[in-house]
Amino acid sequence: MTIVPAIKRDYITKLAEQGKRIDGRGFDQYRPIEIETKVVNKAEGSARVKIGNTQVLCGIKMDIGEPFPDTPTTGVMSTAAEFVPLASPDFESGPPREDAIELARVVDRGVRESQVIQLEKLCITPGEKVWLVFIDIHILDYDGNLFDAASLAALAALLTTKVPISRFIKNLDEKDRASWQQQLLDIYTIPGIDEAPFGSDDTNNTQVTINDFPLPMIEPPISCTAVKINDFVLFDSCFDEEIIADARLTVATDHKGDIRAMQKGLSGSFSREEIQKVIKGALDNGQEIRKILNQSIGK
Amino acid sequence: MKSDRELINSEGRRLDGRSPHDLRKIKIEAGVLHRADGSCSLEWGGNKVLVAVYGPREAVPRHVQNPLKAIVQARYNMAAFSVEDRKRPGPDRRSVEISKVISEALEKVVLIEQFPRASIDVNIEVLDAEAGTRCAGLTAAGVALVDAGIPLRDIPVACAAGKIGGRVVLDLGKEEDNYGDADLPIAISPRTGEVLLLQMDGHLTIDEFNEAFDLAMKGCYEVSEIQKKAILQKYQSAAAEVQE
Amino acid sequence: MTNEGRQVVIPGQILGEIPALQPGRGTFVENKKIFAERLGVMNIQEKFIHIIPLKGRYDPVVGDFVIGVVLEASTSNWMVDINAPYPALLHVNEVPWEIEFADTEKYLNTGDTILAKVLSVDESKKLQITLNDRNLFKLKGGHLIEFEPSVYRRIIGKKYSMIEIIQKYTRCRIKVGKNGRIWIDGDADGIEKVLAAISMIEREAITFGLTDRIEEFLKKDAKDVR
């Protein structure tokens, strides 16, 4: 475990009292954000996000499998995070510890609960075959604020994901193909999907060839995280700030300015006023980050 | 499994247009991570690997310490999305074996006797996999060890040769690996020619083995030059910075 | 200072042969040939080839001044991180205070920072440090930053000239540990200026006249403040 020198802790809080941070940023200010998409060839979608020195890679894999019995016509998504020892001297190999599980679940909720992926459009044959979407988050370099980096990487990766129907079509029988064609007709009406996901083979007209097409998505909420050090609320904490933080609050807001997910972490507490302050900062920063995200996917 | 596709044609052209003695394209960059003591990112054909070195640091738990020398702990890990069919996260038997043979290969070149009780941790993350990830990982590990300032006898390097369509060729690609006749990955210390890692699967005659071995050695020397260039590119400008 | 020595070398690179040359720090010998064992800059002094490392952990040498962070206190000693591969031991006999048995935490506790001296390095690399010397003490207040141990000499300058100049223009107290740690005490503006000067020293490729350039930079900054 990293031991924080008391001097560093005191210096960060002393600076905060003067309205300053160790890297010269304002309390609400993020470090530079870079998003690079399509970085993994083998993945159906991928993105590498850098926030300052923090780097997170997210890859999306898809497969065909059975739906849950209670939701026979919806696709299935799952999210996992690996805190690989590559990213920090304090990360250990082995099964995911609670930090990695919390991160994966918060990213998962941000996507699932606001129905960013239109899972109901990922049904092939009701009750039998649906698309499975696996979101895998790989931490590459840990310098604080993994929540925002991971959720942004997941969104950028999902927004550039192509449903790999061309690879899977051979696994579908006649019934599945007919059912899937009907589903495709629905998906094709989704705004934003402008390339034809299927076409017919003119030569013998018996075989349907199908192109990969973008994952059906809606405008996602953006997560912004602040930490509390003494009585100060700082956004996008770097590692030195994060390890002395008392409390952490993540707020995901959508493009209409509504709140879509929240998560409070660590053993400190927030007052109602502080929570309002975080929401305000999350809205302001969320707008800026949304622009960067849209730019990265060529929108 | 044999392919009905022709992996190499009568003129000796391979599926990706390479001749039998050609390597795939390799790109190496040293010092790419902030938290690690040393790091390297490497692209080799369709492979993408990232390596971070931590240490030397006191080995934990205590019972793994060697009172006379450092231990080298390589950990080879494939990202879930690095392969066509998603891989379950975490170590499996294959990655444990590869980690072991890479650890042993690296231990031979690290001056481990300088750091009793310590461990040097080499984390190899495969982000995109397309045949030859262990060679890519070990080669990147060599650069990351240098970048971490670890004392070494030499910079280890790896490359494979194999046999496709009855011919011995260098550096198997994806299809060649899946449908070829044999694969022979080796790692060497290029200064001495000592073999640090050697594995083989498939079927080779003694003559074919000798030919493949020589070819893999040649490949190692080529890759070694790319490693050195990457390190010097990162640190050449630092030459003037140091005052004695 | 020899200019022909300014060459980046990499592990396994041949540097020369015995007896024309002799192996120094950061080299090893095989069959009378001298090789570099790590990434660094080659330097030849009176036939001895040394490698000045460009990267790597701090390699403790007896007598070095180091800045340590206390990892844990036990009944008769403390374990201290000095940025080396191993934590260093600070025994109760090696501090300037009279300490009752098991009272160590009252004097130094986890997270405390000290300016210490390397007392011993044994064959199995067990390290001991001491606070029993003048100018050694527990550091309070200020700020602590880390740098690559290889740029130590550049940061202190010739006969501490660099540090003296920085202290003069920033009104800060500065202690530089050979282990790649700097402690700076002063007001926030002063500390900020020191950080700017140090990152400039780390970045600057040409060492010739660097002290003058840093002085110029600090002077200009001082005017801007006024």
**Mean pLDDT value across chain A:** 91
Nearest chain C alpha carbon to B231: C10
Which pLDDT score is estimated for A190? 55
Range B171-189 average pLDDT: 96
Rounded-to-integer distance, Cα C150 and Cα C182, Å: 13
Per-residue burial over B34-47, b = 16 or more CB atoms within 10 Å of its CB, e = otherwise: bbbbbbbbbbbbbb
The verdict on residue C194 lying in a domain is yes
Look at residue A206 and tell me whether its pLDDT is greater than 80: no
Range B77-93 average pLDDT: 95
The verdict on residue C100 lying in a domain is yes
List the structure tokens of A83.
Answer: 């805190």
**pTM (predicted TM-score):** 0.93
Which candidate from C71, C140, C144 shows the least CB-CB separation from A3? C71
**Which residues of chain C have a CB within 8 Å of the CB of B142?**
none
Which pLDDT score is estimated for C221? 65
Which SS3 state, helix, strand or coil, does residue C28 take? strand
Which candidate from B51, B57, B79 shows the least CB-CB separation from A138? B79
A9 interfaces chain C, CB cutoff of 8 Å: yes
Q: Of the given ranges (A203-207, B166-170, C12-16, C84-88), which has the lowest mean pLDDT?
A: A203-207
Supply the CATH number for residue C163's domain: 3.30.1370.10
Which pLDDT score is estimated for C3? 44
Which pLDDT score is estimated for A299? 78
Which pLDDT score is estimated for B20? 96
Per-residue burial over B76-88, b = 16 or more CB atoms within 10 Å of its CB, e = otherwise: bbbbbbbbeebbe
A23 interfaces chain C, CB cutoff of 8 Å: no
Rounded-to-integer distance, Cα A277 and Cα A157, Å: 30
Residue that terminates a domain, selected from C87, C104, C139? C139
B210/chain A closest Cα distance in angstroms? 34
A248/chain B closest Cα distance in angstroms? 22
Contact A53 B77 (CB under 8 A): no
Look at residue B18 and tell me whether its pLDDT is greater than 60: yes
C96/chain A closest Cα distance in angstroms? 21
The C-side interface with B (CB below 8 A) comprises 1-2, 5-8, 10-12, 26, 28, 35, 37-41, 43, 45, 50, 52-57, 85-87, 124-125, 150-151, 153-154, 204-207
**Which residues of chain B have a CB within 8 Å of the CB of C150?**
242
pLDDT tens track, chain C, 226 positions: 444 446 899 999 999 999 999 999 999 999 999 999 999 999 899 999 999 899 999 999 999 999 999 999 999 999 999 999 999 999 999 999 988 877 899 999 999 999 999 999 998 899 999 999 988 999 999 999 999 888 888 899 888 999 999 999 999 999 999 999 999 999 888 998 999 999 888 877 566 788 888 888 888 766 554 3
Which candidate from A42, A55, A61 shows the least CB-CB separation from B128? A42
B244/chain A closest Cα distance in angstroms? 31
Q: Kindly report, residue by residue over A47-99, the tens digit of the pLDDT.
A: 999 999 999 999 999 999 999 999 999 999 999 999 999 999 999 877 778 99
Per-residue burial over C198-212, b = 16 or more CB atoms within 10 Å of its CB, e = otherwise: beebeebeebeebbe
B174 interfaces chain A, CB cutoff of 8 Å: no
| pLDDT category of residue B26 using cuts at 50, 70 and 90 | very high
List the structure tokens of A48.
Answer: 């590498």
A257/chain B closest Cα distance in angstroms? 33
Handedness of CA B141, B147, B151, B153 (dihedral sign): positive
A71 interfaces chain B, CB cutoff of 8 Å: no
Who wins on pLDDT, B125 or A92?
Answer: B125
Nearest chain B alpha carbon to C123: B116
**Mean pLDDT value across chain B:** 94
Are A215 and A45 in contact by the 8 Å Cβ rule? The answer is: yes
Rounded-to-integer distance, Cα C15 and Cα C37, Å: 10
Residues of chain A above pLDDT 90, percent: 77
DSSP codes, C55-85: S------TT-EEEEEEEEE-SSEEEEE-SSS
Nearest chain A alpha carbon to B89: A82
Supply the CATH number for residue C96's domain: 2.40.50.140
Range B71-85 average pLDDT: 97
Which candidate from A43, A86, A88 shows the least CB-CB separation from B81? A43
The continuous run of DSSP H or E covering C129 comes out as: strand C127-130
Which candidate from B90, B123, B127 shows the least CB-CB separation from A40? B127
**Which residues of chain C have a CB within 8 Å of the CB of B72?**
none
Q: Kindly report, residue by residue over B225-241, the tens digit of the pLDDT.
A: 999 999 999 988 665 55
Range A192-199 average pLDDT: 52
**Which residues of chain B have a CB within 8 Å of the CB of C10?**
146, 155, 228, 231-232
CATH fold for domain B4-243:
Ribosomal Protein S5; domain 2 (3.30.230)
Q: Kindly report, residue by residue over A256-288, the tens digit of the pLDDT.
A: 999 999 999 999 999 999 999 999 999 999 999
Contact B151 C154 (CB under 8 A): no
Q: Are C20 and C79 in a shared domain?
A: no
The verdict on residue C31 lying in a domain is yes
Phi-psi region of C75 (alpha: psi -120 to 50; beta: other; left: phi over 0): alpha
The verdict on residue C1 lying in a domain is no
Handedness of CA B187, B189, B193, B195 (dihedral sign): negative
Which pLDDT score is estimated for A193? 53
**Which residues of chain A have a CB within 8 Å of the CB of C189?**
none
Which pLDDT score is estimated for A201? 45
Look at residue A34 and tell me whether its pLDDT is greater than 60: yes
Which pLDDT score is estimated for A212? 86
Q: Are C171 and C197 in a shared domain?
A: yes
B241 interfaces chain C, CB cutoff of 8 Å: yes
Which pLDDT score is estimated for C225? 46
Which candidate from A61, A94, A140 shows the least CB-CB separation from B80? A61
A171 interfaces chain B, CB cutoff of 8 Å: no
Range B204-217 average pLDDT: 98
Contact C205 B241 (CB under 8 A): yes
Contact A140 B83 (CB under 8 A): no
Which pLDDT score is estimated for C38? 95
Domain that holds residue C113: 65-139
**Which residues of chain C have a CB within 8 Å of the CB of A4?**
111
A6/chain C closest Cα distance in angstroms? 5
Are B120 and B107 in contact by the 8 Å Cβ rule? The answer is: no
**Which residues of chain C have a CB within 8 Å of the CB of A6?**
111-113
In total, how many domains does chain C have? 3
Contact B36 A41 (CB under 8 A): no
Residues of chain A above pLDDT 70, percent: 92
Contact B79 A88 (CB under 8 A): no
| Single-letter amino acid, residue A238 | C
Which candidate from A3, A6, A15 shows the least CB-CB separation from C188? A15
Q: Are C81 and C49 in a shared domain?
A: no
Which pLDDT score is estimated for C5? 46
Q: What is the ipTM of this complex?
A: 0.92
Q: Of the given ranges (A9-18, A206-215, B141-150), which has the lowest mean pLDDT?
A: A206-215
CA A9 to chain centroid, in Å, comes to 31
B106/chain A closest Cα distance in angstroms? 17
Closest CA to B191 of B105, B104, B109: B109
Residues of chain B above pLDDT 70, percent: 95
